[in-house]
Structure 1
Amino acid sequence: MYAPQQAEWSTLSEIQQLQLKALLLDADPSWEQVSRYLFQSKLFIMLNDQAHIIAQLCLWQSDDEQAEIKNLAVDPHYQGQGLAKVLIQQVIESAKLLNIQTLWVKTGNSSLDQLALYQKCGFRLSHIEPDVFKDYPTPMYENGIRCLDQVVLSIGLS
């Protein structure tokens, strides 16, 4: 099994930065959006035997008591092996050590697999932010559903 580890963008090789960028954009297609939080986030990655990044998670701490999973992606060749769940569990433990009280995650209304995953990891539905994705230049579809709304989930860590 692949073990999660914390990483810094600046310490990654150029190839690893490209691999990471591809995964980040898989989860959020706007590099402008990603770059707003990436360099202020704690970065968790998983490497394969060739030191290629195969999974990543960005944890952004908004204040002393709250943090948000901003981006999570697994290379398609490694999906279905439970890597995302392992990353989430590692981040939950890391957040507890930072005395984070609430961990948040936001995803699209059409992201059915992600909604199931987060709930299996203990997150609960909090609220829906309507029309967040309505005005994207290119409409997004997943599972035959147009992504319009943002679903917000949280887990209490205290």
Structure 2
Amino acid sequence: MNNDIMIIPTSQMTKEHRQLYLNADPDEQLVKQYLPRCSPFELRVDDELIGVILLEPLDKQTVEIKNLAIDPQWQHHGYGKALVQFAKRYARLHGASTLVVGTGSTSMASLLLYQKCGFRITNVDRDFFTRHYQQPIYENGIRLRDMVRLAMTVK
């Protein structure tokens, strides 16, 4: 990450923003449902949009990473980690002590990222994706069924 990186609030919903949100969560209706409850931020490198994160306060002590996506051509360069670090600072600044995230049990890269950043698995929501998503999702050749929930202390 040698380039000029900025993580800034955004109210935009361009075609590029929409595609990034859908890269992380393929159900557009669900994204539209939780988007109004979230604080949206974009990650730009040399003024190019390459990532997004949606942060949702769940209560006074907890902030959830609701959606985090990096453009596929920019993945594995530390930008996802930069967004997680940003989320930790955001949670602390808003008085929260816990940062949580949920991701698919077949989302190996996401699970690895979150654990490298200090998250610990708290539980598994069995059949979450079969209950909440109309269309089956396949990742790494496996049908996604379960959500893995992770948390970390930020204070």
TM-score, with structure 1 as normaliser: 0.89
User: Does structure 2 retain, via aligned residues, the 8 Å contact 1:4–1:87?
Assistant: no
Alignment of 1:60-79 (within 5 A): 60-79=56-75
SS of the counterpart of 1:139?
coil
Residue 20 (structure 1) aligned with residue 21 (structure 2): no
Describe the superposition over 1:114-140 as per-residue Cα deviations: whole angstroms up to 9, x where unpaired.
001000000000000101112533321
Mapped partners of 1:39, 1:2: distance in 2: 29
Question: TM-score of the superposition, structure 2-length normalised?
Answer: 0.91
Judged with a 3 Å threshold, the aligned counterparts in structure 2 of structure 1 residues 3 and 139 are, in CA distance, closer, same or farther, namely same
Query: Which residue is 2:139 aligned to?
Result: 142
Is 1:6 matched with 2:8? Answer: yes
CA 1:152–1:2: 2 relative to 1, 3 Å = farther
Deviation, 1:46, is: 1.2
Query: Unpaired segments of 5 or more residues in structure 1?
Result: none
Q: Secondary structure at the match of 1:134?
A: helix
More strand by percentage = 2
Tell me if the contact between 1:74 and 1:84 (Cα under 8 Å) persists in the aligned partners. yes
Distance, in Å, in 2 between the alignment partners of 1:82 and 1:26 is 18
Hey, what does 2:36 align to over in structure 1?
39
Query: Where in structure 2 are there 5+ consecutive unaligned residues?
Result: none
Q: After the TM superposition, which segments of 4 or more aligned residues of structure 1 sit over 3 Å from their partners? A: none
